[in-house]
Structure 1
Amino acid sequence: MAAVVVISDTIVRPETSEDGSERVKTIHLTPWDLFFLRTEYSQRALIFPKPDQETHIISQLKSSLSVALKIFYPFAGRLVKNHNQDDETASFFVDCDGGSGVKFVHAAAKTVSVSDVLEPGYEYWSEFFPSNGVESWQGVSEPLLAFQVTELKDGVFIGYGVNHLVADGASFWSFFKTWTEICSTGFDRKTMPPLSLRPWFLDGVDYPIQLPISLTASSPVGGVVSSLQKKIFRFTSRDISELKAQANGEVFCSDEDRKISSFQAVLAHMWRSIIRNSGLNPEEVIHCKLAMDMRQRVNPPMDKECFGNMVGLVTATTTAGEMLNNELGWAALQLNKTVRSQTNEEFKRVCENWVKNPEIPNGLVVNNSLVVASSPRFNVFGHDFGWGKPIAVRAGPGIAGHGKILVYPGTEQGSMEIHTSLWSHVLEKLLADEEFLQHVVCMC
């Protein structure tokens, strides 16, 4: 018997009113948007405490969501695909003018507790999410944003799926913050500035960008994922401080720009530990791919709050042998150098080369790579619909492979949570690695 029962499946549209505001009708897609064309919707969840019985959460959520969509109107649009039969190419853009709305599923799992869904390997996990198996190119018919609100025995599970072509994590959490504030405290339109949309970046590139038709739909994904396991690790503020001090002490760098950050130290510890327990040949090339916010790195810099997808995927590369023959500070410095190399010129060069020879991956992570997404800067635990702040944040189901890492702030001040997907045999060794466990706590 299924754990989750769907009560309703509806579309929530932006609130309509004549306020004189001008809206962009069409959003053209950049190389860093189209890179995600064949990846699944990003699915995540926040788990909240149960509100009192007098709170009508579904009607409150829907009405406040409608107001939030009036501001963040691109989420209510749809993807449009144009097929050019003359040369078998296709192009995409986001149509913001239709007001098609977002998906809103109301469900119940009244016999399921918060502790049940937080158990590792919970059997019915995928039933709590609204966009299972949906890829970004399917936004031509699927809503660009979907929510599923599931009432638990002692809590509320809010799962979502978002199309990465239209927004990145920074834009989504900005939207979510606005939604929670509208729901909990009401809304004064005069206090909210109009949405700042990301401007087009590459001069001299014709858009919409024409892609070979073969790249514009899904293709079979190889690899076996049945032996993958997910695990969450917590780094306390003390653990992070110790790792940062160790890494910077080993680097001996007086240049402030080259100082190892807390995030780089934690990630280096994860990277070295995973490689140490992966059994790779010393000559094997390994990668750590980081999703970076490029808003302030392009020239001229964009507004920090501008809406859209501004994620660049950057890669630190070395060999397994070189990684293990060096200390934590060396590994952290490779990440630091990679981050600092992402200048406006480099980003532009990569994008221009991509337009000439586009590649769109399917999203499965390979054995020799870590792919790091999300950010400890996202204030995921600061959101409150009026029933209390979240109990936990979790990643949803989707195509994943060995080496997928999601980073979030922890529930405790200054802490971090690292959500991992790893081969079972690697994880087993990692959980017995005393050097790794010295600075981390396994949550579940």
Structure 2
Amino acid sequence: MASSSPFFRHVSTYKVKPPPQPRTRFQLSTWDLAMVSVYYIQKGLLFSNHLQPHLTIADVVERLKTSLSATLVHFYPLAGRLFTEEARDEQGNVTGIYISIDCDGQGAELIHVVAEGITVADVLSPSTDVPPFVNSFFPYDKAVNYDGHVIPLLAVQLTELSDGFFLGCCFNHAVGDGTSYWMFFNAWAEIARAGGVAAELSRSPVHDRWFIDGDKESPIKLPFTRPDEFIARLPLPLYRERIFHLSAGSIAQLKARANQECGMTSISSLQSISSLLWRCITRARGFPPEQITRCRVAAQNRSRLNPPLSPDYFGNAIYAIPAATTVGELLAHDLGWAARLVHETVGGHTDSAIRKAVAAWMAAPVIYRVDMFDPFSVMMGSSPRFDVYGCDFGWGKPVAARSGTAHKFDGKVTFYAGREGGGSMDLEICLEPPFMRALEEDEEFMSVVSPPLEKWITSETR
């Protein structure tokens, strides 16, 4: 087992640019602009040493550089930088700012690091907390999206392990959401498998931003005159982080239970799990019965708009929609009652609700900050539908997905597809230490959790 503070040795940093393209200005939508003060997305993949005998780490680095350059042709905004212009009145006073992406092929960054003595099994740690050293697999720690004015909008770190490597991406959240992030990651892997050629993709990103008035040429003015009016740089909260595995069978039983208890058939797997976590985490926290608590679910806007956005829309198109009740009500009722509440909240997220929210934001823009999160609630992020394990760069299927420090706080849950597929899932849960201890002793929660997949640690990672 690696020490708690392993040694990381920097090998090299490369600026990776796409082939020359015309200079382009990309306007940001309301959903993009709302993200300028939150952190870069930090997600990455763990690979065991399935490399062919003739494929060295130098070969890996070269393939990543070549294929990333080709991928940036399709995802050109990621090769740019944020750009701010001031709006002024007739007297020359600053009345607001416009933020866009200025793309002249400035490029992304690829960093090569060696982690001395760390193995794939050390990273997985299936029965304990995620090791703190995993945070060092990601560049730009604590960078907020506004920093994309001076640092790349995309940075990738390849970390060599003793028997594998980790590929961690830092992706500016003002450029795109989780759907956009995994669209890029899968496209990069597809191009790498094809030898690094900028060929046609199986899914090509759609870069036209969505605006409520349909005018894609008019930038949105933010009512600020200085960055410190909307940028917040906050200390990292104290939390424990664990990965819990749920088998497809366990999820199916939970979904059946939720539907039976509320007399419905339309409660989804994700709604069932979210409701279970809401109840169990709330119970673990021990808040008073009268306290309001919410279950926030990251909901897609793409398919809910009328007409719908393309599923390949590259940008932000999400809202965190809340189901709310009191602690007492939540714990006095069964799982089905909570699942119905979450289900009705998701069902109410319609085209008209989205347009109403966008119109309200345009009237009074709000820039999100992590400290806006309600500490009495839970936040369900990411999606098990993202094709994490399809990111094969030509050296085999990833072993696991992990994330950095970005957007983590007490009550944050991140969903991943389970490696064995079939509807299984992995949950990355962050809680304050006493709350995590209580959750680990919660019978309702632990009865759904499946044992760690030791077979992949003992066979595929050696």
Taking structure 1 as the reference length, the TM-score comes to 0.92
Q: Does 1:435 align with 2:444?
A: yes
SS in 2 for 1:346: helix
Structural mapping, 1:389-408, within 5 Å: 389-408=397-416
**Inter-partner Cα distance in structure 2 for 1:129 and 1:397:** 9
Q: Which residue of 1 aligns with 2:43?
A: 44
Q: Does 1:225 align with 2:237?
A: yes
Structural mapping, 1:332-371, within 5 Å: 332-364=339-371, 365-371=373-379
Q: Is the 8 A contact 2:130 2:243 kept in 1?
A: no
Q: Which residue of 2 aligns with 1:151?
A: 160
Greater mean deviation of Cα atoms: 174-183 or 116-125: 116-125
Does the C-alpha gap of structure 1 residues 249 and 123 become closer, same or farther in structure 2, counting only changes over 3 Å? closer
SS in 2 for 1:295: coil
After TM superposition, give the deviation of residue 177 of structure 1 in Å: 1.3
Structural mapping, 1:38-437, within 5 Å: 38-50=37-49, 51-55=51-55, 56-84=59-87, 86-96=93-103, 98-119=104-125, 120-186=129-195, 187=197, 189-190=199-200, 195-203=205-213, 207-213=219-225, 217-219=230-232, 221=234, 225-226=237-238, 228-253=239-264, 259-364=266-371, 365-413=373-421, 414-437=423-446
Q: Is the 8 A contact 1:3 1:124 kept in 2?
A: no
Q: Which residue of 1 aligns with 2:456?
A: none
RMSD (CA atoms): 2.2
**Inter-partner Cα distance in structure 2 for 1:442 and 1:218:** 42
Question: Structure 1: which 4+ aligned runs deviate by more than 3 Å?
Answer: 190-195, 213-217, 441-444
Q: Is the 8 A contact 2:82 2:99 kept in 1?
A: yes
> What's the CA shift string for 1:142-198, capped at 9, x where partnerless?
111110001111001111111111111111211211211211233473566764224
The one-letter amino acid of 1:31's match is T
**Inter-partner Cα distance in structure 1 for 2:306 and 2:328:** 38
Q: Is the 8 A contact 1:232 1:442 kept in 2?
A: no
Does the C-alpha gap of structure 1 residues 277 and 174 become closer, same or farther in structure 2, counting only changes over 3 Å? same
**Inter-partner Cα distance in structure 2 for 1:161 and 1:188:** 22
**Inter-partner Cα distance in structure 2 for 1:70 and 1:105:** 20
The one-letter amino acid of 2:325's match is T
**Inter-partner Cα distance in structure 2 for 1:213 and 1:406:** 35
Taking structure 2 as the reference length, the TM-score comes to 0.88
The one-letter amino acid of 2:151's match is E
The one-letter amino acid of 1:66's match is S
> What's the CA shift string for 1:23-78, capped at 9, x where partnerless?
79222222221221111111111001222342210001100111111111111111
Does the C-alpha gap of structure 1 residues 156 and 316 become closer, same or farther in structure 2, counting only changes over 3 Å? same
Percent sequence identity is 34
The one-letter amino acid of 1:74's match is P
